[in-house]
Copies of this chain bind each other. A is one copy, B any other.
Amino acid sequence: MSEALQPGAVIGILGGGQLGRMLSVAASRLGFRCHVYDPAPAPPAGHVAERVTTAGWEDAAALAAFAASVDAITLEFENIPTAALDVLEPLCPVRPGRRALEISQDRLAEKDFLNALGLRTAPYAAVADAESLEAALGKIGAPAILKTARLGYDGKGQARIMVPGDAPAALAAMAGAPSVLEGFVHFSHEVSVIVARGLSGEVVCYDPGENVHEGGILRTTTVPARLAPGQHMEAVLLAGKIVNALDYVGVMGVELFVTAEGLVVNEIAPRVHNSGHWTQAGCAVDQFEQHIRAVTGLPLGNGARHADVVMENLIGDEVARLPELLRAPDTSVHLYGKGDARPGRKMGHVNRIIR
């Protein structure tokens, strides 16, 4: 169970976007090779992986061949269809495993799980139709946010209900999908904890980063985050509690609201996380390598931070700032190799060391 993969072993990565790309680079640093599986042709991770399979999540034969070609499987995004896991799991270890994916694929399951652990979340209620939405609004009140329970990502599939009269339009925006109504949380700022749990059960946290979002998309993460010492410890213990409860293997991003009453869990992501990109500049072992270490059964890095960092995403045509950013001192530019700078598309990020 806790035997480490040997150098030269092949790691299968489900999803070939920028996270898979940076996972592949980290794997190479540890002497591993990568095989990326993605439904879309020419994925960004393909530029730095030894092998790429282009096939859909429903292609059982391609999934089986992929599983047979690798020594362990991990993933860069949580919305892998369960049917694909049914094919992969009997053939090859998938880390993190099914339970973490099932929970994070469904906002309702996630909130139920977190509350059962004794952690605080926004007030929430399941919504299936106009009647249950009315009941939910009665319980939670407006303003609130209606979100589809599944496949939410970067602000998609969400509708605000500022006053009860907004309810019909919000429900219509869900297009009949099972949804969750979430109450607003009055928070001063958002932080996230990048936590890792190894195959042997060891848990390591990075220092929490402070996040700023715009239009539902992460703009910047700054470390250290503004947290009282007690909050820092609370954030770390809480993240550890989550990964231990799931018998989790890999890196997880835990987003937290900082409120006057304490920390409230916004959401968890069972994968490397945009708000952990700062670790590339601030730590000897970044979140991508930490994840690969966990997935391959190697010991985790200790997570110590040697520098303060501001991470900034380059979204859409902001890549045009490249000439200036390339000249900026103490600044590392990371581009994802995506051709088309569509609005809202994450094209790269920048880590700036503060000294």
Contacts and interface: CB of A to CB of B under 8 A. Distances in A.
Interface string A234-268: 00000000000000000000000000000000000
A332 interface: yes
A335 B284 contact: no
A315 interface: no
A46 interface: yes
Interface stretch (A26-34, A70-78, A117-125, A168-176): A26-34
B326 A293 contact: yes
B326 A298 contact: yes
Given A46-B50, A306-B307, A299 B284 contact: no
Interface in A283-306: 284-285, 293, 298-299, 301-302, 304, 306
B8 A339 contact: yes
Nearest to A302: B329
A98 interface: no
Contacts of A332: 29, 284-285
A48 interface: yes
A55 B227 CA distance: 57
A353 interface: yes
B47 A284 contact: no
Contacts of A48: 24-25, 28, 48-50
A330 interface: yes
A286 B12 CA distance: 28
A302 B284 contact: no
Interface in A1-31: 7-8, 21, 24-25, 28-31
A157 to B, nearest CB: 30
Q: So how many copies of this chain end up in the complex?
A: 2
A129 to B, nearest CB: 46
A330 B306 contact: yes
Contacts of A24: 48
Interface residues of A, number: 47
A31 B336 contact: yes
A31 B337 contact: yes
A306 to B, nearest CB: 5
Interface string A303-328: 01011000000000001000100110
A225 interface: no
Interface string A336-355: 11010000000010011101
Nearest to A355: B306
A333 interface: yes
A54 interface: no
A160 interface: no
B284 A281 contact: yes
Nearest to A326: B299
Given A33-B337, A304-B330, 4 more contacts: A25-B28, A29-B333, A30-B335, A46-B50
Interface of A: 7-8, 21, 24-25, 28-34, 46-50, 281, 284-285, 293, 298-299, 301-302, 304, 306-307, 319, 323, 326-327, 329-337, 339, 348, 351-353, 355
21 contacts: A21-B28, A25-B25, A28-B47, A28-B337, A31-B336, A48-B49, A281-B284, A284-B329, A284-B332, A284-B351, A284-B353, A298-B326, A299-B323, A301-B327, A302-B327, A302-B329, A304-B329, A304-B330, A306-B353, A306-B355, A307-B307
